Amino acid sequence: EKPQKRQGNAATVWAAIRDEAMACTRCPLYRDATQTVFGEGPLDAALFFIGEQPGDQEDVAGRPFVGPAGQLFDAALAEAGVDRSRAYVTNAVKHFKFVRQGKRRLHQSPDAGEIQACRWWLGQEIDLIRPRVIVALGASAARAMLGKAVTISRTRGSAIGLESGAEGWVTVHPSYLLRLPDEAKRAEERARFVQELRMIGARVK
Ligand code: URA
């Protein structure tokens, strides 16, 4: 199954894809989520980030990376000298997957089938924007970018040629840094993440 050919300028085409994604029922996650959280950013962005899926706050706001992981991501990008406003930021899976625990909604990782179903939208975002560099944040994003499961530790640090012609990079997800219990380890891993973002940012300068 291939997406239909679309007429119009990039903004028109992007809005048409997003509007379709808003009504997506390709996997069951639309049932419990508040809304589809589509990607955002300039349609001529050279740099393209893929997260995992919207979290609790993103589900409500309708925008990617605005909650705690997003704040860490913003701070790391700023330290790395990468301008988020010039990048396109999206997620592998566009609906929030969670279980309820009392009043709280606890994040659950998307499974391979959900990631595969949602590649329908990610592929169209990549085809429209044609970024030079795509960065997968964490294992779900890496699976979406590469179409197969990989290990972050074995995949990070070197460029991967992608079918789209873009250069792919895999790194950790900001939430991984938030979850590290040991403060020294957290600082070390955060610094490594910032260094990687700086190096990747330089690829599009
Ligand atoms: N984590 C993600 O992977 N994406 C978001 O948009 C927010 C948190």
What is the structure's pLDDT at 108?
Answer: 98
What is the structure's pLDDT at 1?
Answer: 87
Length of the chain as a residue count: 205
What is the structure's pLDDT at 68?
Answer: 98
* CA 14 – ligand 1 centroid, Å: 20
- The mean pLDDT of 102-127, rounded to a whole number, is 98
For ligand 1, whether the C-beta of 110 sits within 6 Å is: no
Q: Closest ligand 1 atom, CA of 140?
A: 3
For ligand 1, whether the C-beta of 21 sits within 6 Å is: no
- The mean pLDDT of 114-125, rounded to a whole number, is 98
For ligand 1, whether the C-beta of 91 sits within 6 Å is: yes
For ligand 1, whether the C-beta of 39 sits within 6 Å is: no
Q: Which domains does the chain have, with CATH numbers?
A: 10-202 (3.40.470.10)
What is the structure's pLDDT at 9?
Answer: 98
- The mean pLDDT of 131-146, rounded to a whole number, is 98
Asked if residue 175 lies in contact with residue 108, where contact means CB atoms within 8 angstroms, the answer is no
19-25 contacts at long range (C-beta below 8 A, 24 or more positions apart): 21/94, 21/121, 24/94, 24/95, 24/121
Q: Closest ligand 1 atom, CA of 92?
A: 3
pLDDT digits (tens, 9 = 90+) for 51-83: 999 999 999 999 999 999 999 999 999 999 999
What is the structure's pLDDT at 167?
Answer: 98
ipTM associated with this complex: 0.94
The 3-class SS string of the chain reads: CCCCCCCCCHHHHHHHHHHHHHCCCCCHHHHCCCCCCCCECCCCCCEEEEECCCCHHHHHHCCCCCCHHHHHHHHHHHHHCCCHHHCEEEECCCCCCEEEECCEEEECCCCHHHHHHHHHHHHHHHHHHCCCEEEEECHHHHHHHHCCCCCHHHHCCCCEECCCCCEEEEECCHHHHHHCCCHHHHHHHHHHHHHHHHHHHHCCC
- The mean pLDDT of 146-161, rounded to a whole number, is 98
pLDDT digits (tens, 9 = 90+) for 5-54: 999 999 999 999 999 999 999 999 999 999 999 999 999 999 999 999 99
CA dist 181 → 140, 175, 193 (Å) = 22, 12, 17
pTM surpassing 0.80?
yes
* CA 205 – ligand 1 centroid, Å: 25
What is the structure's pLDDT at 59?
Answer: 98
